[in-house]
């Protein structure tokens, strides 16, 4: 209901804004949080197909939901279900077929948990939407939208190579699940037009509705990642590193994911949970603001004299860390500036090492997310990855990506072929102040620090040898 109310409010605000000529809207798509799910009753399709423009949306949805909760990506309560699905299917098969091992936040394990905990509620459920397909269902005349392969690949249920439900996985997840899932359709599918509710209530035109997708696949397009050799780095609550892939190479460590890309190829993604959350903890621990944080980075030497801070305030996804708690190697907790440098360097070194499976050659980084405004952090990204770092005008790459997908699908529908470079041209434009080149001297420093960081991680997590001799040798080295 909250999803529906949010959409209704946003459309009302757009219509009331006055600065936008609604009649020029040709097509609409959307980006929704990946992995979230919405559980609907048998009457949902009929209700959504006959929304009354005279009444608010939510008042018409009272009997549409079979479940009052909508689990989202932050729900990590399904370890048991992940283990059960893995036991039935096998870890390698799961990763090879769907692009990911079983993950707590993925929709398949979430569905299994619901079917186990509330079999009656599950029996009342006729349709399990992703947030993306649910919101598209609210918009489109007819009211039952498909999911796109991009968002569906965050479920542990879809065969990446055929972009259709993987029968064995569907059976291993929950009883009689297939009929409850929406169909999978290409991201560029025009699924209908805006329903009378939006046209009559708010004055939108009967614009074409294009399949929605998840925020990750939409970001791939909105950040301009339509070719190999470029990495997206999103510095948000969590940090993510993502890339366009021509072939679905999977992460041998099992932490990373391969999703379908809206462009028809693949998207590699690795998530680091201790992103801005951890940077903020250090900022606050040393009573700094962001400008003081940036100052600390400016005043401290790249490589931090070999000292390392492992940033796991919270349990970490990559590398998997079950028990939170930061670890310091050679760092004095009272030395604020060194700890600031320690957290950022550890995060970026970890990003570089744990995403090597995406392909070695990185020419450019497209940085997005709230912390991308921090130039000092971007310098460290450039130096560790030895790649030029760009920022873009539109901060919200997921929303931009959805809009560009709508444009792409609508143009194709008119029978005009359109290549992706043309889709993003003029929209995904680097800021003039960006284009931060790597500093060759610092690149060398980080090449020397990377094995120290790896040794600290191995010591902290896997009983590896004492990293202090490495730290001491680095501190003694002339550089
Ligand atoms: P979300 O993952 O919620 O979409 P955003 O991408 O909007 O997050 O990023 C928000 C985060 O950006 C804030 O939590 C804050 O920690 C971080 N941030 C904002 N300004 C700065 C800055 N100057 N330096 C570093 N981090 C910043």
Q: Residue 277 phi/psi, 5° resolution?
A: -55, -45
Pick from 357, 156, 329, 158: nearest CA to 242: 357
Q: How far is the CA of 276 from the centre of ligand 1 (A)?
A: 6
Any idea what the Cα angle at residue 247 is, between residues 243 and 248, rounded to 5°? 75
Specify whether 17 is located in the same domain as 141: yes
- Regarding whether 373 and 283 lie in a shared domain, the answer is yes
Co-location of 453 and 307 in the same domain: yes
Question: In this structure, are 276 and 366 located in the same domain?
Answer: yes
> With a 6 A CB cut-off, is 448 part of the ligand 1 pocket?
no
Q: How far is the CA of 280 from the centre of ligand 1 (A)?
A: 9
Q: What is d(CA 49, CA 146) in angstroms, rounded to the nearest whole number?
A: 15
Give a yes or no: residue 93 inside a domain. Answer: yes
The finding on whether 276 has its CB within 6 A of some atom of ligand 1 is yes
Atom of ligand 1 nearest to the CA of 235: 6
Q: How many angstroms is it from 247 CA to the middle of ligand 1? A: 32
Tokens in use for 222?
Answer: 């909105």
Domain match, 45 and 170 both:
yes
Distance 282 CA to ligand 1 centre (A): 14
Residue 219 belongs to some domain of the structure: no
CB of 280 within 6 A of ligand 1: the answer is yes
Nearest to 311 by CA among 335, 342, 286: 342
Give the rounded distance of the alpha carbon of 382 from its chain centre. 22
Q: Is the CB of 374 under 6 A from ligand 1?
A: yes
pLDDT on residue 399: 94
Nearest to 406, CA basis, from 6, 30, 20? 30
Q: Residue 245 domain-assigned? A: yes
Closest ligand 1 atom to residue 234 Cα is 6
**Same domain flag for 281 and 374:** yes
Atom 27 of ligand 1, nearest CA residue: 371
Q: How far is the CA of 75 from the centre of ligand 1 (A)?
A: 21
Question: Does residue 217 fall inside a structural domain?
Answer: no
146 and 263 belong to one structural domain = no
Q: How far is the CA of 223 from the centre of ligand 1 (A)?
A: 17
Query: Which CATH number is 96's domain given?
Result: 3.30.420.40
Q: Calculate how far, in angstroms, residue 121's C-alpha sits from the geometric centre of ligand 1.
A: 38
Q: Give residue 477's pLDDT.
A: 85
What is the distance between the alpha carbons of residues 54 and 317, in angstroms, rounded to a whole number? 47
Which of 157, 176, 211 delimits the end of a domain?
A: 211
Is 370 close to ligand 1, i.e. is its CB under 6 Å away? yes
Q: Which atom of ligand 1 is nearest to the CA of 290?
A: 23
| Domain assignment of residue 284, given as a range | 226-394+434-479
Is residue 404 in some structural domain?
Answer: no
Q: Ligand 1 mean position to 234 CA, how many Å? A: 10
338 is written with which tokens?
């060194």
Cβ(376) – ligand 1 distance below 6 Å: no
| 375 and 261 in a common domain | yes
Question: In tens digits, what is the pLDDT along the chain, a chain of 479 residues?
Answer: 999 999 999 999 999 998 999 999 999 999 999 999 999 999 999 999 999 999 999 999 999 999 999 999 989 899 999 999 999 999 999 999 999 999 999 999 999 999 999 999 999 999 999 999 999 999 999 999 999 999 999 999 999 999 999 999 999 999 999 999 999 999 999 999 999 999 999 999 999 999 999 999 999 999 999 999 999 999 988 999 999 999 998 899 999 999 999 999 999 999 999 999 899 999 999 999 999 999 999 999 999 999 999 999 998 999 999 888 999 999 999 999 999 999 999 999 999 999 999 987 899 999 988 899 999 999 999 999 999 999 987 668 899 999 999 999 999 999 999 999 999 999 998 887 789 999 999 999 999 999 999 999 999 999 999 999 999 999 998 75
Assess contact for 132 and 213: CB atoms under 8 A. Answer: yes
Give the per-residue pLDDT at 389: 97
Predicted pLDDT of residue 394: 67
User: Could you tell me if the CB of 275 is within 6 A of ligand 1?
Assistant: no
Do 344 and 274 fall into the same domain?
Answer: yes
Are 46 and 158 contained in the same domain?
Answer: yes
Domain tally for the chain?
A: 2
pLDDT at 34: 96
């Amino acid at each position: 209901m909250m999803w529906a109310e949010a959409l209704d409010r946003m459309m009302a605000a757009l219509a009331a804004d006055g600065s936008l000529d609604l009649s020029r809207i040709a097509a609409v798509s959307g980006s929704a949080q990946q992995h979230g799910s919405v559980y609907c009753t048998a009457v949902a399709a009929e209700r959504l197909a006959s929304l009354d423009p005279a009444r608010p949306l939510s008042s018409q949805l009272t009997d549409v939901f079979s479940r009052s909760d909508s689990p989202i990506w932050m729900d990590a309560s399904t370890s048991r279900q992940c283990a059960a699905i893995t036991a039935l299917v096998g870890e390698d098969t799961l990763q090879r077929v769907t692009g990911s091992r079983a993950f707590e936040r993925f929709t398949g394990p979430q569905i299994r948990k619901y079917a186990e905990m509330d079999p009656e509620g599950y029996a009342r459920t006729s349709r399990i939407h992703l947030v993306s397909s649910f919101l598209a269902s609210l918009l489109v005349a007819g009211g039952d939208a498909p999911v796109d392969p991009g968002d569906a690949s965050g479920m542990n249920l879809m065969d990446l190579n055929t972009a259709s439900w993987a029968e064995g996985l569907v059976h291993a997840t929950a009883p009689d699940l297939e009929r409850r899932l929406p169909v999978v359709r290409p991201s560029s599918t025009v699924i209908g037009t805006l329903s009378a509710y939006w046209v009559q209530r708010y004055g939108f035109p009967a614009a074409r509705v294009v399949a929605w997708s998840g925020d990750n696949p939409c970001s791939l397009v909105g950040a301009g990642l339509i070719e190999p050799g470029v990495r997206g780095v999103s510095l948000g609550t969590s940090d993510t590193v993502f890339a366009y892939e021509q072939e679905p190479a999977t992460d041998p460590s099992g932490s990373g994911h391969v999703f379908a890309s809206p462009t028809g190829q693949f998207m590699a993604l690795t998530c680091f949970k201790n992103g801005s959350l951890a940077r903020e903890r250090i900022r606050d621990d040393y009573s700094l603001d962001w400008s003081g944080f940036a100052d600390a980075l400016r005043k401290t030497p790249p490589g931090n004299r070999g000292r390392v801070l492992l940033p796991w305030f919270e349990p970490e996804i990559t590398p998997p860390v079950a028990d939170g708690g930061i670890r310091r190697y050679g760092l004095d907790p009272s030395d604020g500036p060194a700890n600031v440098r320690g957290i950022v360097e550890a995060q970026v070194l970890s990003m570089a090492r744990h995403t090597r499976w995406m392909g070695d050659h990185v020419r450019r980084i497209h940085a997005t997310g709230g912390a991308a405004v921090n130039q000092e952090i971007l310098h460290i990204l450039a130096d560790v990855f030895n790649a030029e770092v760009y920022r873009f005008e539109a901060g919200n790459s997921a929303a931009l990506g959805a809009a560009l997908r709508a444009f792409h699908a609508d143009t194709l529908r008119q029978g005009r072929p359109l290549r992706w470079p043309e889709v993003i041209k003029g929209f995904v434009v680097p800021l003039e102040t960006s284009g931060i080149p790597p500093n060759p001297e610092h690149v060398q420093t980080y090449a020397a620090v990377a094995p120290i960081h790896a040794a600290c991680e191995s010591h902290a997590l896997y009983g590896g040898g004492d990293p202090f001799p490495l730290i001491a040798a680095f501190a003694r080295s002339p550089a």
